[in-house]
Structure formats: structure tokens, C-alpha cells
Copies of this chain bind each other. A is one copy, B any other.
């Protein structure tokens, strides 16, 4: 525990004392002086009675500031909302940034959502309904409508004084969006640009009219790319008629980047990691089993294939010794190739000509790694068993198996992506189980051809 954490723990103990003694005034002072995230850490340590009593101490908007920093998919959130007085909860949701409120509501059922929305002013409720309507993983799903806008004819001085009003509600006041008479977005300006202007300068003459926007339906990964490239703190979101409907802010993009990388990572491992961290063994097992059993069935096909070659195995039981070496190594190569392909698909757009080039490249990479690995295993087996024909059979099989595994590792995610599926679903375990099958087929075909030579040698 470092210095910061220690100080925080002491504050938490103090806060609980105030709560026990009913010292509302001191509680408010200490609590409200903390960062919102620390407030939320404190809140999560409370039991139900303690929570019920802080709802009477804090105003809904103060509670909302803290709820803005809570993870929206925290499983306890519906419970928290239901233990609050309905008016209090609705007011709190209404006082939150609308993107965060929508993220929370998304985890409730329709009836519950309407219970809360019914208590809000109609315009606010409709605004939230609008946000709930967008897919979670699109620009619309992560945007807020609480942004700062000015008319293009306003002067710097007017803008700065109006900004003070926005400072209460807008999610960021550091980017200002400039509209014309038709409410079309015609310019963007940073507060940094604004602050150095002369008082009488007109926004129109000083704004940046080369505006980078994202479409409301754009995938969240695309939105993240804009932030990475341009290093913005916020980006305007427009609908199909190019009307501005909201902004995405950088804090939400950090969540998106975490989400996306976790999805890729989980995909590669064939397990949904985000859900298993807090689960008990039974729940964790129930989440991992579907993939395992599916892959088990696929590997049973491999078993049938080996079974088909049983007479070959009976004649040369030495062949069994190298099954796992060949399937294992080809599987490892396939996993490498898969990871490179999925990553590339995540960061680039790949058109048809690129696609072909990449698959050829991966084929060649597979062939080169196959030749080197095959030659190594030829020597290893040759010297070990004093049988270089057997070594050649194993080496050839390994070379071919690795080449095929590399090809599969890149081709499968690329095909999936071009048919509109998420390539990250083609997991490492899937590729290596599939590659077991092709490896065994290659191995026994080659062994069959040379059977007389190496058994006789």
C-alpha cells in the first residue's frame, strides 16, 4: 500500500465514524473534498444501511457525480438504484452526464427504465431514450449530448462569459463547437485558441473549419483510431444528414481501447476474460466449457483420422512418438500467424489486393519457418534414432504442417473479417485444434509413402 492509499484508508475510517455518529456536516465536508473516484471507492465499501443513510446526506447531483465514475456494468447497480427513493434516483440519473446515465440504464429492463424516465422532465427523458437507441459499441452508444456550442457570430468575450454557464453541465468545455444559422456545425475551436483571442474577435474568423467528425453509426474502434491519430480530447458526432448530434470524449475512448484490446485478447485465448475475474470456480468453468467441448469434438475428428491409420501405427509404432511434436509445433506456428493477422485487421483496413498480398506473405513466412524447423527436427530425430529417413519423414511433415497452419492462421481471420464477422473470434485454441487435424493428415500421408524405407532402414 503506498502513501496515497494509506491516506485514503484513514479518510474512509473517519467518514464511517461521522456516518455512525450522524455528523452530517463533517461527513459532507470530508466526502465532497475527495475525488469522485475516491468517493466511489468509499461508496462500494458500505453496507445497505450505510448507503441508505448517505442518500439522506448527499444531494442527487452530488451522488450523480460519484455515479459518473462507477463502472456501468457493475452488477450491483440495479440494486443501488432500487434501494433509493424513486424521485431521488431519477433526479440523480438526470443530473449525471447523459452518456453515463444511458450506459447505466442500458443494463436495466424496459419497465425499470421507464419508471426512472417517467420522473424526469420530458425533454431530458427523450434525450436519454435517444441515446439508448444507439448500439453500445458505436459512436452513438458512447457519445454525450452535453457539449458546448456557440453561434459563429459571437465574439470571444461573449463566448467566454457564456462558457461559464456551460461549465456546470457540459462534459467538456475545452472544445467549443460553432454553429451557423441553420444549426449546422461549421467550426471547432479549443478553449486554448479562444483564451488567447482579443475580446472583440469573432468566432467565425478564428475557428478551425477543417472539422474531423465521426458518424453516429461508426464502430467504436474507428472512433478510437481518430483519437489516436489526432490526439483530440473530444470529437463531434454527426448523423447521416451531417447534423451534429453529440460528442465523444477521451475518457470514454480509453474505456473503448481497453474493451477492444480485451476482446482481442480473450478471443486469442478462447475465453471471455472480462467475466471470469470475480466468478467462483463453478461459474468460471461454465464459461470456459462451451469452447472446450466444441474444440474437443473437433479434436475427436483428428482421433478418427489417426484411428484410420491404425494399421500403419501397428506396423511402425515409432510414428506415435512424434504425433504431439508435429501437432504442437504446427499449432504454435498457427497461433503466431493468427495473432499477427487479427492484430493487423484491428489496426488497418484491408482491401482485396492487400488481402492477397498478406496471405501470400504469410504462406512464405510459414514455408521459411517450416523449412528451418523441419530441418532442425530432421537432425534431432536422425541422430537420436540413427535413422535419417525417419528424420526426413518427420521433417517433411513438420514443414508442410507448419506451412498449412500459418496459412490457416492468416486466411481464416481474414475470410471471417471479409464476411463481416469479428476475426478475433477465431481463437488460438481453435486454430491449433484445427491445425492438429491437418497436421495429422499430412504426417500419416507422408509416413505412408515412405513406410518401407524408414522401417527397413
- Residues of A at under 8 Å CB distance from B? 4, 33-37, 69, 160, 163-164, 167, 173-174, 191-192, 195-196, 210, 212-213, 227-231, 233, 250-251, 253-255, 257-258, 261-262, 264-266, 268-271, 273, 276-277, 280-282, 284-285, 288-289, 291-293, 295-296, 299-300, 302-303, 306-307, 310, 313-314, 317-325, 327-329, 331-333, 335-336, 338-340, 343-344, 347, 361-362, 364-365, 367-369, 372-373, 376-377, 380, 428-429, 432-433, 436, 440
A297 to B308, alpha carbons, bound, how many Å?
Answer: 29
Contact A212 B4 (CB under 8 A): yes
CB proximity of A315 to chain B, nearest CB, Å: 9
Contact B336 A321 (CB under 8 A): no
Q: In the complex, what residue of chain B is closest to A301 when comparing beta carbons?
A: B325
Contact B302 A328 (CB under 8 A): yes
Q: A261 contacts which of B261, B303, B321 (Cβ < 8 Å)? A: B261
Contact B336 A320 (CB under 8 A): no
Q: Hey, which chain B residues are within 8 Å of A373, CB to CB? A: 289, 292-293, 296
Give this chain's copy count: 2
Contact B251 A231 (CB under 8 A): yes
Contact A228 B254 (CB under 8 A): yes
CB proximity of A188 to chain B, nearest CB, Å: 10
A335 to B267, alpha carbons, bound, how many Å?
Answer: 11
A292 to B70, alpha carbons, bound, how many Å?
Answer: 43
Q: In the complex, what residue of chain B is closest to A367 when comparing beta carbons?
A: B281
Contact A288 B164 (CB under 8 A): no
A361 to B196, alpha carbons, bound, how many Å?
Answer: 59
Contact B195 A164 (CB under 8 A): yes
Interchain residue pairs A-B with the least CB separation, the first 6:
A269-B339, A261-B261, A281-B364, A320-B320, A285-B368, A271-B336
Contact A270 B332 (CB under 8 A): yes
Q: Hey, which chain B residues are within 8 Å of A69, CB to CB? A: 229-231
Q: Hey, which chain B residues are within 8 Å of A327, CB to CB? A: 324, 327-328
Q: Hey, which chain B residues are within 8 Å of A320, CB to CB? A: 306, 310, 313, 317, 319-320, 323
Q: Hey, which chain B residues are within 8 Å of A302, CB to CB? A: 324-325, 328
Q: In the complex, what residue of chain B is closest to A310 when comparing beta carbons?
A: B317
Q: In the complex, what residue of chain B is closest to A327 when comparing beta carbons?
A: B324
Q: In the complex, what residue of chain B is closest to A268 when comparing beta carbons?
A: B268
Q: Hey, which chain B residues are within 8 Å of A436, CB to CB? A: 324, 328
A358 to B262, alpha carbons, bound, how many Å?
Answer: 20
Contact B210 A233 (CB under 8 A): no
A436 to B361, alpha carbons, bound, how many Å?
Answer: 30
CB proximity of A178 to chain B, nearest CB, Å: 16
Contact A269 B271 (CB under 8 A): no
Contact A230 B269 (CB under 8 A): no
CB proximity of A270 to chain B, nearest CB, Å: 6
A372 to B265, alpha carbons, bound, how many Å?
Answer: 25
Contact A210 B35 (CB under 8 A): yes
Contact B333 A376 (CB under 8 A): no
Q: In the complex, what residue of chain B is closest to A294 when comparing beta carbons?
A: B332
CB proximity of A29 to chain B, nearest CB, Å: 12
Q: Hey, which chain B residues are within 8 Å of A369, CB to CB? A: 285, 288-289, 292
Q: Hey, which chain B residues are within 8 Å of A365, CB to CB? A: 281, 284-285, 288
A322 to B306, alpha carbons, bound, how many Å?
Answer: 8
Contact A268 B265 (CB under 8 A): yes
Q: Hey, which chain B residues are within 8 Å of A273, CB to CB? A: 339-340, 343
Contact B270 A269 (CB under 8 A): no
A324 to B336, alpha carbons, bound, how many Å?
Answer: 20
Q: A335 contacts which of B261, B289, B428 (Cβ < 8 Å)? A: B428
Q: A333 contacts which of B288, B313, B377 (Cβ < 8 Å)? A: B288
Q: A277 contacts which of B321, B344, B440 (Cβ < 8 Å)? A: B344
Q: A227 contacts which of B174, B254, B266 (Cβ < 8 Å)? A: B254
Q: Hey, which chain B residues are within 8 Å of A291, CB to CB? A: 332, 336
Q: Hey, which chain B residues are within 8 Å of A280, CB to CB? A: 361
Contact A173 B192 (CB under 8 A): yes
